[in-house]
Structure 1
Amino acid sequence: MGLTIRRGTLAALALSPVLAAIVLPPVAMAAAPAPVSTAATTNAEDARLMALFRDDAAREDALSPMSALRRTGRGNPAVFAQGFTAGRMAASRASIDRSLAALARIDRSKLSAERQISYDVFKWSRLDDRQFLAAPLDKLMLDRPMNHFYGLQSSFPGEFKVGGAARYDSIADYRHNILYLRAFPKVIDNAIVRWRDGERNGILDTRLTVTNMIAQIDGILAQSPADNPLYTPLETFPAGTSAADQAAMRKQWTAAIEGDVRPAYRKLRTFLHDEYLPKARAEVGLSAMKGGDALYRALIRSNTTLDMTPDAIHRLGLSEVARIQHEMEAVKNELGYSGPLKDFFEVIRTDPKYHPKTREELADGFVEVGKAVDAQIPRFFSRVPKARLQIEPYPPYSEKYEAGGSYDQGSPDGKRPGTFHYNTYDLPSRFLTGITTLYLHEGIPGHHFQISLAQEDTALPDFQRFGGNTAFVEGWALYAETLGYEMGFYKDPMQHWGTLDDEMLRAMRLVVDTGLHSKGWSREQAIDYMLANSGMGKSDATAEVERYIAIPGQALSYKLGSLTIQRLRKKAEAELGPRFDIRAFHEQVLGSGALPLPILETKIDRWIAAQKG
């Protein structure tokens, strides 16, 4: 199971809190504000609150041209060029302070029920962002500007390919987007300044992460124009583009790639390899970095929206691992194996019948499951997204460094589809058993439903449409996997094993992430733990552990979010009895965007009370 909110998707979530404040630059030359929702309000206080949200959204779009690009297809390249600067963080800090001061002047008790939710979500998210923009956490973030999971070095080509965030509807769009290509070297220069500042401050990233970034850059530099996503806009121009304009743009676009983008990649590669790598820390956990303990606790709260200690999460993980292993014993027997579970893990890893023989076998499996899921959706959901879902493998240049699957959201108007990416690298390490659960998580009704329904709902303020928190987003996707039981898919012991194996992954994450960052575990110790307690392949286990090293705390959100949603559903079923409607429950969970878990619980409690009359 992969990192499901990808680079370049849901910027306020994927980059928050770690990178949104540093990748997306200061306000000096502001982008035009993106269109903001104009939801109907019921009273004057609601109207004041919505005006505050519109003002905040306009300032955020000005501060974050890449966020604007992802939502609207346009942004401000001149502001982009100021990425990774202290000025960007100062501007963000000032903007948040302005919004929080305005929020304090709103009388929450006079708001409608939906706007009270908006008030609470906005306050939570802005306070969460604010803590990473102030000492001591700000330097811990700014001085480690990229990593191999959330890094501009790997996401940039995908943003500007055809089908990415940038639009290419007219030759004017090409002229606008080429300014981003030309600004790319400046952003890289800014990032190098930040890394050097970290060297002086004793804030250093891991050798592992730096080595992986270098390998990513090598893969990008090795691409021919035919393989380079940045060349795709030259393959077909918009209808009506003159031959002269096409010829001129081909020349300018190629010059920007070869004269600006590729030299910047080479410069970054040289810096990382020759200067930064020798100084990077060998220890992989945050506890080994100056200020790392405080940062990890902040990241736990930000990612999970819960106040839990690393020790409490570690203990919960050990408990969940034991519970799931008990269920695995029964399914193992159904699959015809009577030996010890730990031996069956090796059987799962090595027996060819559990692994795809070709890339096409994986692709066909996901398409087949998708059709079966579509037939079940009316039983569980009263609303479905306008955006369709497409299924694609990762590109060859990045698949080695990706996890098992991920999701890229479509456009808010539903015209650009959402994309479920699956990994075909090292086929013997991929599993046929995981096809159903991976599709339910990444596609329908997991990320595609949750993200698309939110961003397509123009009645919501923009931060509820496009923002969110990892615990809700990933918790929903893991909860969506459990719907496979009610849909009948896990009557097949192969697929039943697959969903238990993936649930085991999420339970192990609680153990391993806290082990790495608060208990001094090594990379090898973490990989060995995952191999000893599941049937996952070594390639997947390695990619997972290296992900936890790069983005501490994020992997905790899946299990903690899912357990919360499952608990709330059981509570609603118990209190409502025959009046419980699963479609209405799902609408309540999804109908306000991605909520911090305590706010979601308050909403569900209020809904249960209303249903009871």
Structure 2
Amino acid sequence: MRAATLLFTALLAGVAATPVAAQQQPAPAALPGEGAEDARLKALFHASDEASLKRNPLMALFRGDLRYADQLGSYYTDAYVAAEKAAVEADLAALRTIDRSRLTTVNQIAYDVFAADQQRALKGFAPAILEVSKYLPIDHFTGFQSFYPDFASGQGAAPFKTVADYDNNLKRNAQYAETYDRVIGLFRQGMQRKIVQPKLVVTNMIGQFDNLIAQGVEGSVFYAPVTKFPDGISAADQARLKAAYARQVRDVILPAHQKIRDFLATEYLPAARDSVGTSALPGGAALYAYAIESNTTLPLTADYVHDLGLAEVKRILTEMEAQKAKVGFTGTLQEFFTHLRTDKRFQPESADALRAGYEAIGKRVDARIGEQFSLIPKAPLEIRPVPAYREKTDAAGSYSQGTPDGSRPGIFYFNAYDLPTRYTWGMETLYLHEGAPGHHFQISLAQENAALPAFMRFGGNTAYVEGWALYAETLHDELGVAVEPYQRMGGLNDEMLRAMRLVVDSGLHAKGWSREKAIDYMVTNSPMSKTDAIAEVERYIAMPGQALSYKIGQLTILKAKAKAKATLGAKFDPRGFHAAVLDTGALPMPVLEKKIDDWVAGVK
């Protein structure tokens, strides 16, 4: 298990909350109908969460909890890994002492989620898994360099309201710089064991550090917080902080970035592997099997995933042919893909035009959203471009969570890098996925539900989180978007992307596919640009199994919906169904299926 995997998984799942007082928070109060076993369960959840926040200070800070705001965490150390494993084992032992049958219905769901999450986490500490993953501490997606600079920039989750906030950030930044010595140490141990990252992953990381180094001192994202101060900070403090931030960037952060950049370029890159799949690593098959289960919450085989993907690709190609016919295009589907990629009418004029387009889409969706949803998040949704330092390796769109009280908005980031490839026919579906009712609804509604234990409000699994967002794309007709054939092609292209991920991810990590074969497969079976295909494939190489979660989660939700509609007939209400899916946070797929079955029985 990578040292920072828990942190990064939490960030992907949308960790955030309102600021809380700087002392231990009381356990949640009992709700009507709860008994002694419910109280014991909630006490366990509370104690587990409190201990986890202390071990993972950044997770606390993303939730607005300032108790450990001057700390980063002991990531990339044996002590951190041992503490995480011991916590999982202790939590499972405590859970087994609680009588599930005496819990309320909601707490039985919470019991099941906690058990499933902890059991999956424990598998990640198995020697066969840990002795490979620990020597691959960072890549260009899950390394601290991929999110921490934005976090500490004054535009991210770190607070900059008081002098203490600024001083705490200086302390965290110093610890951030120190992590790279530990990362280098783990990489060197991996070199001795022939457990190394692919060359392309290393090259991408070098590029990231080059971008950060090129910012210099006063242009650095780490200096940015002192370029603008809130009211209430004195001129003397401002002068002190400006000097301290400049000194830290110059003497601490830039040297740390330069050190790891030079290590990666001169020592690690020559030792890195030409292969790209986990199958090339010692114990790679076991590592990929764990990656599949940890990301889908289901014990699926690589062969099953691959075959499912092939079947979905075939189905979507047939629907694409139908859209091609609707617009009167008489060439082949491949020629239609080329038309979509090259016709200038599908290329946005500017980043501002992209932003205006997404804002217009949002207004159209908002006008219809009440027809499908009775639960609407309090947090507003803001649309922003991806920060320049990470746009080259970022996806076309992404989401960053807001706060439960709505004081910080959720943010839909769109990517304007290589502008001619940000095709306008993909905008409507991307908004449904990253914005409303996709990630913004799911993540916000979970963290705004104070009745849930913290691990359900702020945690999650990618099969649910990404499966919901992909399911949200299927609501295009109901929400009045992606109706025009070219926009529908954009929707099919996005769905095709997730179907191809099943094929390509399993191909790369279990069937010996090369990077080039994976890129060619994606360009051949969709209108996506080669730029996007390269970014996607290199993401799958860096994060085995994560890309499988989207389609597996979506198909699970669609299957549950079809079953509910068939059973309830005229009694089926999409608002009730969506509330049942969303009102208890991100559930493992087996737990979600059981919950929907119970909801159907209650309605019937």
Please report how far the alpha carbon of residue 418 of structure 1 lies from its aligned counterpart in structure 2 after TM superposition.
Answer: 0.9
Which residue of the partner structure matches residue 400 of structure 2? 408
> Which of 64, 70, 92 pairs up with 1:100?
92
Report the TM-score, using the length of structure 2 for normalisation. 0.95
Q: Do residues 525 (structure 1) and 522 (structure 2) align?
A: no
**Matching residue of 1:24:** none
Residue 83 (1) aligns with residue 75 (2):
yes
> Are 2:249 and 1:257 aligned?
yes
8 Å contact kept, 1:32–1:62: no
Q: Tell me the residue number matched to 1:318.
A: 310
CA contact (8 A) 2:30 2:39 kept: no
Distance 1:330 1:476, change over 3 A: same
Please list, as runs of the form range in 1=range in 2, the aligned pairs for 1:304-343 lying within 5 A after superposition.
304-343=296-335
Q: Render the CA deviation track for 1:50-84: whole Å, top value 9, x for unaligned.
A: 00001100110011011111111536377535220
**Is the 1:406–1:422 Cα contact (8 Å) retained in structure 2?**
yes
Whether the 8 Å contact between 2:277 and 2:512 is mirrored in structure 1 is yes
Q: CA deviation at 1:490?
A: 2.6
- Asked if 2 retains the 8 angstrom alpha-carbon contact of 1:84 and 1:187, the reply is yes
Structure 1 residue aligned with 2:357: 365
Change (3 A) 1:291 1:279: same
Distance 2:296 2:46 in 1: 27
The one-character-per-residue Cα deviations of 1:80-128 (angstroms, maximum 9, x if unpaired) are 3522001100011111111111001000011111000000100111111
User: What does 1:272-351 correspond to in 2, within 5 Å?
Assistant: 272-351=264-343
Q: Does the alignment pair 1:191 with 2:183?
A: yes
2:101 to 102, 109, 125: 109
Aligned position for 1:608: 600
Q: 1:15 to 1:196 in 2, by over 3 A?
A: farther
Say whether residues 1:217 and 2:214 are aligned partners.
no
Q: Is the 8 A contact 2:365 2:481 kept in 1?
A: no
| Residue aligned with 1:194, SS | helix
Q: Is 1:154 matched with 2:149?
A: no
Following superposition, the deviation at residue 339 of structure 1 comes to 1.4
- When the two structures are aligned, how many residues end up with a matched partner? 593
Q: Which residue type is aligned with residue 10 of structure 2?
A: L
- Gap change, CA 1:143 and 1:38, over 3 Å in 2: farther
State yes or no: 1:201 paired with 2:212. Answer: no
Compute the TM-score of the two structures, normalised by the length of structure 1.
0.94
Give the aligned partner of residue 13 of structure 1. 10
Structure 1 CA distance, aligned partners of 2:218 and 2:516? 38
2:418 alignment partner in structure 1: 426
Residues 52 and 103, structure 1, Cα contact 8 Å, conserved in 2: yes
Q: Quick check: 2:365–2:480 contact (8 Å CA) kept in 1? A: no
Equivalent residues of 1:82, 1:186 under 8 A apart: no
The equivalent residue for 1:28 is none
SS of the equivalent of 1:484 reads coil
CA–CA distance in structure 1, aligned partners of residues 117 and 30 of structure 2: 20
- 8 Å CA contact 1:144–1:198 kept in 2: the answer is yes
2:59 is matched with: 67
Determine helix, strand or coil for the equivalent of 1:486: coil
Distance (Å, rounded) in 2 between the aligned partners of 1:360 and 1:335: 28
Provide the C-alpha distance between the structure 2 equivalents of 1:138 and 1:78, rounded to a whole number of angstroms. Answer: 29
Deviations 1:456-491 (A, max 9, x none): 111100000011100000000000011112223232
Counterpart Cα distance in 1 of 2:143 and 2:43: 34
Q: Is the 8 A contact 1:285 1:520 kept in 2?
A: yes
Question: Any residues of structure 2 matched to 1:532-547 within 5 Å, and which?
Answer: 532-547=524-539
Higher deviation after alignment, 246-255 or 109-118: 246-255
**How far 1:276 moved relative to its partner?**
0.8
Query: Gapped runs of 5+ residues in structure 2?
Result: 16-21
CA drift of 1:228 comes to 2.6
1:450 deviation in Å?
0.2
Measure how far apart 1:410 and its partner are: 1.0
Which residue is equivalent to 1:40? 31
* Cα distance in 2, alignment partners of residues 12 and 508 from structure 1: 23
Aligned to 1:478: 470
In the other structure, the counterpart of 1:550 is: 542
1:497 maps to 2:489: yes
1:579-594 mapped onto 2 (5 Å cutoff): 579-594=571-586
In the TM superposition, residue 500 of structure 1 has moved relative to its aligned partner by 0.6
Flag the 1:566–1:128 CA change in 2: closer, same or farther, 3 A.
same
1:38 CA drift (Å): 4.5
Note if contact 2:7-2:58 (Cα within 8 Å) is conserved in structure 1: no
Could you tell me the percent identity over the aligned residues? 49
Q: 1:34 to 1:425 in 2, by over 3 A?
A: farther
Residue type at the aligned position of 1:134: A
- Equivalence map 1:358-397=2 (5 Å): 358-397=350-389
Q: 1:27 aligns to what?
A: none
Unaligned runs of 5+ in 1: 1-6, 21-30
Per-residue deviation at 1:175?
Answer: 1.4
Q: Deviations over 1:401-425 (max 9, x none)?
A: 1111110111232211111111111
Aligned equivalents of 2:376, 2:6: Cα separation in 1: 20
What RMSD over aligned residues (CA atoms) do the two structures have, in Å?
1.9
Equivalent residue for 1:443, pick from 424, 435, 443: 435
1:141 maps onto 2:130 in alignment: no
CA contact under 8 A between 1:149 and 1:551: conserved in structure 2? yes
Contact 1:328–1:500 under 8 Å retained in 2: yes
Distance in 2 between the 1:394 and 1:9 partners?
A: 24
Find the residue that maps to 1:80 and give its secondary structure.
coil
Q: Deviations over 1:136-176 (max 9, x none)?
A: 21122221111001110221111112131211121111111
SS at match of 1:392: strand
Tell me the secondary structure at the aligned position of residue 391 of structure 1.
Answer: strand
In 2, Cα distance between equivalents of 1:331 and 1:489: 15
How far apart, in 2, do the equivalents of 1:547 and 1:32 lie?
39
Report the counterpart of residue 4 of structure 1 in structure 2: none
Amino acid at match of 2:75: G
Displacement after TM superposition at 1:186 (Å): 1.7
Contact in 1 for aligned 2:391/2:417 (Cα 8 Å): yes
Read off the aligned partner of 1:472 and give its amino acid letter.
Y
- Indicate if the aligned counterparts of 2:439 and 2:469 stay in contact, CA closer than 8 A: yes
> CA offsets per residue over residues 304-338 of structure 1, 9 Å max, x none?
11121111111111111111111111101122201
- Write out per-residue CA displacement over residues 273-301 of structure 1, whole angstroms, 9 at most, x where no aligned residue: 11111111110011011111100010101
Tell whether the 8 Å contact from 2:212 to 2:389 is kept in structure 1 after alignment. Answer: yes
Equivalent-residue separation in structure 1 for 2:495 and 2:12 (angstroms): 25
- 1:196 counterpart letter in structure 2: R
Note the C-alpha offset of 1:132.
1.3
Please, which of 500, 506, 511 is the counterpart of residue 508 of structure 1? 500
Conserved 8 A contact 1:392-1:419: yes
Deviation at 1:502, TM superposition (A): 0.7
